[in-house]
Structure 1
């Protein structure tokens, strides 16, 4: 059910947006909490899955050309705090974490942010959507 909800949410957000505007760092930078996660490969985001991560903070630098992402992930049974820096190419960010990752930030409201991403682990591509709230 969450997958259907997130897919519908992403579709509505994308349809409602006009031509891509420059990201406003004040909308992105801050403390965030992942509340919903969906993927076309459920094993990747299940408990103990390599892509099950809980975003805690985002920070735009240089007008959002770089994005610092602080998050927690479990390896294998211990929760670990991690930080990665993603670089923007056009409207898409790229970062290496558990393979190659490409993602887009989609501000939904002033306190909600959707992240649509794709992970390629060298064998299979996984599409994900994560909904975050302040």
Structure 2
């Protein structure tokens, strides 16, 4: 009986050692991809051409983020905070209101689908964040596929891995 109990305890310990930490949204990120049903919003100088720096938990438990954008060729740092809606979506005030859904999150990358509402017009847009400045072609392909599923065409997807994303402010 003691051997059976000891075997059971060792088995539980082995299971516990295999448990991995769930992926965290908080921490440093890089914007690797942007996509939009209105491409001018994510092109150079567009209002949604923004670059993530980090995501963090605010004191009130909401999520916050530091981002960069370019204005007149100069990099500007700004912060936003997200509030959770009753349906579970996150609402982020920036260039109107943005309703955010996390489509994928792991320790290497995250994909988001957003709906931007400004002046009674809706724009669907997506973001691909990576823990490193670039991601594999396979992950970028998954992002393009997700964009297509939400109505964004292949030619409306930008790969930012080679672009200046205001790294000098990091």
TM (normalized to structure 2)? 0.59
Supply the distance in 1 between the matched residues of 2:66 and 2:22 (Cα, whole angstroms). 16
Query: What are the residue-to-residue correspondences of 1:101-116 with 2, within 5 Å?
Result: 101-116=98-113
Displacement over 4 Å in runs of 4+: none
Corresponding residue for 1:40? 37
Q: 1:21-45 deviations in whole A, cap 9, x for unaligned?
A: xxx9861110000101111100100
Query: What are the residue-to-residue correspondences of 1:11-22 with 2, within 5 Å?
Result: none
User: Are the structure 2 counterparts of residues 113 and 93 from structure 1 closer, same or farther at C-alpha, using a change threshold of 3 Å?
Assistant: same
Which is strand-richer, 1 or 2?
A: 1
Supply the distance in 2 between the matched residues of 1:101 and 1:61 (Cα, whole angstroms). 19
> Which of these two proteins has the greater Rg computed from alpha carbons?
2
Which is helix-richer, 1 or 2?
A: 2
1:86 to 82, 85, 90: 82
Q: Which runs of 5+ in 1 are unaligned?
A: 1-23
Supply the distance in 1 between the matched residues of 2:101 and 2:72 (Cα, whole angstroms). 28
**Is the Cα contact below 8 Å between 1:30 and 1:58 reproduced in 2?**
yes
Supply the distance in 2 between the matched residues of 1:48 and 1:25 (Cα, whole angstroms). 36
Q: Which runs of 5+ in 2 are unaligned?
A: 1-20, 132-170
Q: How many residues align?
A: 110
How large is the Cα RMSD of the aligned pairs?
A: 2.2
